């Protein structure tokens, strides 16, 4: 039987956070044995908000090294850089023509980001979810591991796949999101009403996968809690709830168990233990990352092979799409 396909990606729009790890990256390697996996670094998405070119290049390699350090195996998964596979932009164009403006207007990420970057709102930011649909549909993905914030974009990808299939005949698989019940939305450590984001201007709002021990310890100590001074998991104590979610995600302990463990103990002790748990989780990743990031030749080999493998599958889908919409096939001699 054919293996089902998994696809996911992360933007190299900064250094990766614990939110990116818990919500998405840590799940990636789980699929490698049973699925055909495609994991990309979505640099085309990253330029929908302002980027410094040399930082974008650096961050792209950093994300690649982190993918590998977090357990992605290039012999099992296809790991590539989105801009190396031109089919993404081409399929996005075709999908743009069957996407309703009203659907894009409803996207909460677009609303949030256009508030945040109000001086540089561009058409790319608006059509970002269409490009994401193209990323997914090109590989005929069945499953897409993402954080909760991407659920709405996944819905659009499903919608566009169904619309295209109905209009032109069966072409795309209909993707399902894979979103865990715990840790799918890690919140800012400074404002637990908003998501932890790598582009947050407040460095204390997030923990980076590459933060050193002292920094992690300090950021957890400074994390906003409340004055109730009683460990509990509820919507009144949102800061604490978020910290318990992080604890639970990294230890696989249920939130009730954690609350029980810290009855009659102070926030200080809880935070000390949490910082230790995060440090222990990140330590082996950071060690492996340091080796990988200094071996540029190896990284280049990985993303070159990845691009060839990804393009093979992407091109196969795009050719079908072009044929179905009525484009004249390109003669072999100019392929
Ligand atoms: N706080 C989070 N909790 C759980 N999952 C999260 N993800 C992001 N933040 C959290 C998941 O990480 C994957 C990659 O995200 P992305 O970089 O492609 O885009 P994003 O969701 O916009 O992430 P950021 O960190 O907030 O980036 P910026 O600041 O550049 O916008 C996705 O699966 C996402 O759900």
Model pLDDT for residues 316-327, shown as the tens digit of each residue:
999 999 999 999
For 90, the 3-state DSSP assignment is helix
* 146 pocket-lining for ligand 1 (C-beta < 6 Å): yes
CA of 39 to the centre of ligand 1 (A): 15
**Which atom of ligand 1 is nearest the CA belonging to 196?**
1
Q: Which residues contact 63 (CB under 8 A, 6 or more apart)?
A: 10, 12, 16, 41
CA of 21 to the centre of ligand 1 (A): 9
For 195, the 3-state DSSP assignment is strand
Q: What is the pLDDT averaged over residues 235-249?
A: 97
Backbone angles phi, psi at 35, to 5 degrees: -125, 160
**Which atom of ligand 1 is nearest the CA belonging to 199?**
29
Q: What is the pLDDT averaged over residues 31-41?
A: 97
| pLDDT value at 277 more than 90 | yes
**Which atom of ligand 1 is nearest the CA belonging to 187?**
1
Residues of the chain above pLDDT 70, percent: 99
CA of 95 to the centre of ligand 1 (A): 23
* 313 pocket-lining for ligand 1 (C-beta < 6 Å): no
**Nearest protein Cα to ligand 1, atom 10:** 19
* 149 pocket-lining for ligand 1 (C-beta < 6 Å): yes
Does the CA dihedral 97-101-105-108 come out positive or negative? Answer: negative
Give the tens place of pLDDT for each residue, 134-193.
999 999 999 999 999 999 999 999 999 999 999 999 999 999 999 998 899 999 999 999
Query: Cβ distance 143 to 6 under 8 Å?
Result: yes
CA of 9 to the centre of ligand 1 (A): 10
pTM of the model: 0.95
Which of the four pLDDT bands, split at 50, 70 and 90, describes residue 119?
A: confident
Q: In the prediction, which pLDDT does 332 show?
A: 75
* 177 pocket-lining for ligand 1 (C-beta < 6 Å): no
Pairwise CA distance, residues 314 & 318, whole Å: 6
Count of Cβ atoms closer than 10 Å to residue 27 Cβ: 21
More confident site: 56 or 334: 56
Catalytic residues: 113, 195, 198
Q: Which residues contact 210 (CB under 8 A, 6 or more apart)?
A: 15, 16, 62, 286, 289
By most ligand atoms within 8 Å of CB, the mutation choice from 6, 149, 182 for ligand 1 is: 149
Q: What is the pLDDT averaged over residues 211-223?
A: 98
Pairwise CA distance, residues 162 & 174, whole Å: 7
* pLDDT, the chain, mean: 96
**Nearest protein Cα to ligand 1, atom 5:** 23
Residues of the chain above pLDDT 90, percent: 92
* 209 pocket-lining for ligand 1 (C-beta < 6 Å): no
* 147 pocket-lining for ligand 1 (C-beta < 6 Å): yes
* 15 pocket-lining for ligand 1 (C-beta < 6 Å): no
CA of 197 to the centre of ligand 1 (A): 6
Q: In the prediction, which pLDDT does 126 show?
A: 96
CA of 207 to the centre of ligand 1 (A): 13
| pLDDT value at 335 more than 70 | no
**Nearest protein Cα to ligand 1, atom 2:** 19
Residues in the chain: 335
């Amino acid at each position: 039987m054919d293996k089902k396909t998994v696809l996911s990606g992360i933007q190299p729009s900064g250094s990766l956070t614990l939110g990116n790890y818990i919500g998405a990256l840590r799940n990636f390697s789980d699929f490698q044995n049973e699925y055909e996996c495609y994991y990309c670094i979505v640099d085309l998405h990253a330029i929908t908000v302002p980027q410094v070119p040399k930082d974008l290049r650096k961050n792209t390699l950093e994300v690649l090294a982190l993918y590998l350090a977090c357990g992605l195996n290039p012999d099992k998964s296809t790991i590539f850089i989105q801009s190396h596979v031109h089919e993404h932009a081409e399929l996005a164009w075709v999908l743009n023509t069957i996407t309703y403006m009203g659907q894009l207007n409803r996207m909460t990420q677009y609303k949030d980001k256009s508030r945040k970057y109000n001086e540089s709102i561009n058409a790319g930011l608006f059509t970002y979810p269409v490009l994401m649909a193209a990323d997914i549909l090109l590989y005929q993905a069945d499953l897409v591991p993402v954080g909760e914030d991407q659920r709405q974009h996944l819905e659009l990808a499903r919608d566009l796949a169904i619309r295209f299939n109905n209009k032109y005949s069966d072409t795309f698989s209909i993707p399902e999101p894979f979103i865990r019940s715990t840790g799918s939305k890690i919140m800012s450590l400074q404002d637990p009403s908003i998501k932890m984001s790598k582009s947050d201007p407040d460095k204390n709002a997030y923990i980076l996968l590459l933060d050193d021990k002292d920094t992690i310890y300090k950021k957890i100590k400074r994390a906003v809690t409340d004055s109730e001074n009683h460990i509990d998991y509820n919507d009144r104590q949102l800061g604490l709830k978020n910290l318990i979610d992080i604890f639970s995600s990294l230890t696989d302990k249920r939130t009730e168990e954690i609350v029980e463990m810290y009855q009659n103990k102070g926030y200080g002790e809880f935070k000390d233990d949490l910082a230790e748990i995060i440090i222990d989780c990140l330590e082996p990743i950071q060690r492996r990352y340091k080796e990988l990031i200094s071996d540029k030749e190896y990284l280049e080999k990985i993303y070159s092979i990845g691009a060839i493998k990804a393009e093979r599958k992407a091109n196969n889908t795009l050719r079908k799409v072009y044929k179905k919409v009525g484009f004249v096939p390109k003669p072999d001699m100019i392929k």
